[in-house]
Chain A
Amino acid sequence: MNFDDTPQEAEFRATARAWISANAPRQYEDELRKSSLGRTVLKNADILEVAKAWQKKKADAGWACLHWPKEYGGRGSSPIERVIWQQEEGPFGQLSRMFIIGHGMCGPTMMAFAREEHKRSYLPPLASGEKVWCQLFSEPAGGSDVAGLRTRAEKDGDDWVINGQKIWTSGAHYSDYGILLTRTDPTVPKHKGLTMFFLDMKSPGVEVRPIKQASGASDFNEVYFTNVRIPDHQRLGEVGDGWNVSLTTLMNERSAIGAAVSTGFPELFEYCSSLMLDDGPAIEDRAVRSKLAHWAVKASGLKYTSMRAISALSKGERPGPENSIGKLVAGSMIQDVATYALDLQGAAGVVSGEDGELAGRFQAMLLRAPGTRVEGGTDEIMRNIIAERVLGLPGDIRVDKDVPFNKIPTKGRG
């Protein structure tokens, strides 16, 4: 049992570290480190531009999408090298958030299902951040029931004609391309009538409307499709096989490990170490210490769970569903930690943004936290994954499973 790199890993780490040290946009390091939760804001720069510039620099030097094959813009690295890179990239990795959907989900789906000429033309600019991608799955009536989607694709000559609406589409407002899951046959059970495509987000008939979130930020969008035409050669997988294609995408989403999970704990510990309460330093208060200890062991537990996963990865094992616990634990923890930090501030806790304590850091965390518990699968879906795929308990009962989609009752759904 040790925390040491193998000689090859150590060499890779040293090379990565040296390159990052010489090339990263250090002027933003402090801001990126401090805005690890809540909102990532660069005061004097457009974060998208900074992110694109960093990504391009990485791509030109062969450090983009490390685990992708070289011919598609990657480096052909092992999974463990990807983890080492993430560790070394540290706060600069926050800039990759702009590309997380494209790199984590769209790219792998294209790799698995697109035609070779499409892979060669679309993937390298995706890897280098020149083109941004989004994923058009969720719908207003869907939520966790992704397969219940209603956006239609109808064949018209060599094209497909798309009508419908998507929602919760991260980054659609600055995306160039998207992968799109549609219904091509409403007369068969819901999982069987789906088909996947990719499309140019600038196509006529695509309308993107940003959603203002509870936090005040607008990271997500509604996307409307009115007679949007997609050529058949942009279909991913067979007609009617869209569900299997999307599972590949979702599996990739959940297998991302190694990046440090935000829990809010280091921020809270630091805050309590300096905060003075009426009776003295917060860190010496019995009740505060008990709370801190409770969260400390969750944070360290997650950290070492991730290290165990990395160890398994370096032995060539595949990351499994047990890695769902990171988001599940961290999501509600951030929310609780932020709530508690505000409680310690008393009445002043209500003041947010630049006017608030620590420039409103915990207030921003509080307002962003509910999203963390929902996006990429709610806490309840994460628990189902653990219960079903780790513990082997029965799947939820799905009464619509064998019913043709157009015969499923729709009352109360969009």
Chain B
Amino acid sequence: MNFDFSDDQKQLRDQARKFLAEKCSPKAVRIVLDGKAPYDKELWKGLAEMGFLGVAIPEEFGGAGAGHLELCVIAEEMGRANAPVPFSSTVYLAAEALLIAGSDAQKKKWLPAIAAGEAIGTLALFEGKGNPSPKNVKLTAANGVLNGVKKPVADGGIADFAVVAARTGSSGRDNDISLFLVDLKAGGVDVKSLTNLDPTRGQAEITFKDAKAEPLGAAGEGWSILTQVLDRAAVLCAFEQVGGADRALEMGRDYALDRIAFGRQIGSFQAVKHMLADMYVSATLARSNSYYGAWALSTNAAELPEAAAAARISATQAFQHCAKNNIQVHGGMGFTWEFDCHMYYRRANAMALGLGSLSYWEDQLIDRMRKKNAA
């Protein structure tokens, strides 16, 4: 058994960590947080140059062709650095959808552009409140055009194209849904930015009025493709969340060692020590579940759906737990704009919702475990 990343993969992790420490300091993140830029363009360009955007994209489509374990390693570092770039939208959602369901022509058009940092993509799934479900898709597709409103769309304000879930049938079953690719810079598309919990990754409302769209994958296969995309993204996001949780824990630990109160380091108080120990526990459980997800993702194992849901739940809990208690360790200072704690708190809570909320994934996990037990 070797349930760990390889030395090469660890080297890639070190490389990504070093790069991000240099190019993505909290100061740089704050430029986007303060609304002075929609995302960090320089960082995005740098990530492309490092080959990180196309790490799991095959060489024939302009990527590095390394694989998904390598992408997991980079995802963790993106989370640790709280990178203000549309990485998850473009790389986990749009690129994965293209890899799963795209035609050769579609892959040739978009994947090299993604790897080169020239195209930002996203997934337009949600239409207001509610979790991923075919019945929550109202936007329609007919005669090659889309009509309807998607909201919220992660990074929708800066994306060049979107994978859009649309209703193409009225049978009341999953096969009513089909996926489409839409060039967001073309006509019939109206994009409005929305304020949101985590300004370092924007959210938008996109209105489609007879917007031209091309099918992605076969008609009626949309929901089945989406489920695969969401599962894969769940594992990749879990690594970002683990990275964020680890960083929040580290910040809390460092502050507890640094800060003196009542004549002692606050980290010498058992109440504080135990809070940090519990943060370590949740981060460790999440990391282990995520490793399992990474194994399932990289081998395309039959266990992937269950492993993805477990990684998603565990990592969501861990990041939220660590981010909120990091602020608690910091006391009043943790609640100021000046300290970085709130950036992770924002990111943790925004990420907890982006692929469907915790209750959605809890449902998925139990369904999948039942299916496995029945099999």
Contacts and interface: CB of A to CB of B under 8 A. Distances in A.
Interface of A: 1-5, 9, 269, 273, 283, 286, 289-290, 292-294, 296-298, 300-305, 307-308, 310-312, 314, 322, 325, 328-329, 380, 382-384, 386-388, 390-397
Interface string B347-375: 00000000000010111011001100100
B278 A3 contact: no
Nearest to A397: B268
Nearest to A304: B288
A391 B280 contact: yes
Nearest to B72: A1
Contacts of A384: 270, 273-274, 277
Given A304-B291, A305-B285, A310-B3, A393 B257 contact: yes
B69 interface: yes
Interface of B: 1-6, 69, 249, 253, 256-257, 264-265, 267-268, 270, 272-274, 276-278, 280-281, 284-286, 288-289, 291-292, 294-295, 298, 309-310, 313-314, 317, 359, 361-363, 365-366, 369-370, 373
A303 B257 CA distance: 32
Contact of B1 (A3, A322, A388): A3
11 contacts: A1-B291, A286-B363, A297-B314, A308-B288, A311-B1, A311-B4, A329-B285, A384-B274, A387-B273, A391-B253, A394-B265
Contacts of A311: 1-4
Contacts of B5: 1
A1 B69 contact: yes
A3 B298 CA distance: 13
A308 B277 contact: no
Contacts of B278: 383
Contacts of A298: 285
Contact of B281 (A273, A300, A314, A329): A329
A362 B330 CA distance: 41
A300 to B, nearest CB: 5
A2 B1 contact: yes
A206 B362 CA distance: 55
B366 to A, nearest CB: 4
A1 B285 CA distance: 18
A267 to B, nearest CB: 13
Contact of A386 (B1, B3, B270, B280): B280
A296 B310 contact: yes
Nearest to B289: A301
B370 A2 contact: no
A388 B284 contact: no
A393 B276 contact: yes
A384 B278 CA distance: 10
A273 to B, nearest CB: 7
B273 A308 contact: no
B299 to A, nearest CB: 8
Contacts of A292: 366
Given A311-B4, A329-B281, A383-B277, A396 B289 contact: no
Nearest to A396: B270
Given A1-B3, A297-B317, 17 more contacts: A2-B3, A269-B373, A286-B359, A289-B362, A289-B366, A293-B313, A296-B366, A296-B369, A297-B365, A303-B288, A304-B3, A304-B291, A314-B1, A386-B277, A388-B273, A390-B280, A394-B265
B170 to A, nearest CB: 27
Contacts of B6: 1
A2 B309 CA distance: 20
* Interface-centre pick from A286, A298, A300 (highest chain B CB count, 10 A): A300
B88 to A, nearest CB: 21
A3 B280 CA distance: 25
Given A1-B2, A2-B295, A314-B1, A305 B314 contact: no
A325 B281 contact: yes
A388 B272 CA distance: 12
Contacts of A269: 369, 373
A322 B97 CA distance: 38
B370 A273 contact: yes
Contacts of B256: 393
A292 B267 CA distance: 34
A290 B359 contact: yes
Nearest to A390: B280
B308 to A, nearest CB: 12
Contacts of A391: 249, 253, 273, 276-277, 280
B76 to A, nearest CB: 14
B284 A325 contact: yes
A322 B288 CA distance: 13
A302 B285 contact: yes
Contacts of A394: 257, 264-265, 267-268
Contacts of A390: 277, 280
Contact of A293 (B264, B270, B362): B362
Contacts of B257: 392-394
Contacts of A322: 284
